């Protein structure tokens, strides 16, 4: 039981360390501007979606939050839910086209973040 708690504590400390390293205030100007640009683009697209329908907008909000926090892999994972591949055909036909540009923008932002990470300009997500 003691080993379990020690592993949990180590895991929690590692998570906090990773979160701190990705935090907004510790990023260089290039990373900050990239996050701002992605958040602005995605927010504008989410506003267009909300004007038509509020269905699944929580996913869009979660993607934006993950980008602010620098968790690009999680942002991309959540954005894939907006493709509605796991839903029935009627929902996919109705909502996937509405969300297509939002998912595209999220994927582009995540790909650019991966490139910055590879060049050493961004913390790992």
pLDDT on residue 122: 57
Is residue 76 situated within a structural domain?
yes
Residue 10 has pLDDT above 70, yes or no: no
Is residue 125 situated within a structural domain?
no
Is residue 23 situated within a structural domain?
yes
pLDDT on residue 120: 75
- pTM comes to 0.78
Identify whether the C-beta of residue 66 lies closer than 8 Å to the C-beta of residue 104: no
Please state, in angstroms and rounded to a whole number, the distance separating the CA atoms of residues 109 and 67: 9
Tell me the residue range of the domain where 69 lies.
2-118
Averaged pLDDT for residues 82-110: 92
Q: pLDDT band for 3, please (50, 70, 90 cuts).
A: confident
Is residue 124 situated within a structural domain?
no
How many structural domains is the chain composed of? 1
């Amino acid at each position: 039981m003691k080993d379990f708690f020690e592993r949990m504590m180590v895991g929690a400390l590692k998570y906090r360390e990773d979160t701190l390293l990705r935090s907004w205030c510790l990023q260089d100007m290039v990373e900050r501007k990239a996050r701002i640009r992605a958040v602005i683009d995605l927010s504008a697209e989410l506003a267009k979606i909300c004007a038509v329908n509020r269905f699944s907008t929580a996913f869009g909000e979660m993607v934006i939050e993950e980008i602010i926090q620098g968790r690009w892999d999680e942002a991309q994972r959540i954005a894939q839910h907006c493709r509605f591949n796991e839903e029935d055909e009627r929902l996919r036909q109705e909502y996937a086209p509405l969300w297509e540009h939002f998912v595209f923008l999220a994927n582009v932002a995540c790909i650019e973040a991966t490139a910055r990470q590879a060049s050493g300009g961004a913390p790992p997500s």
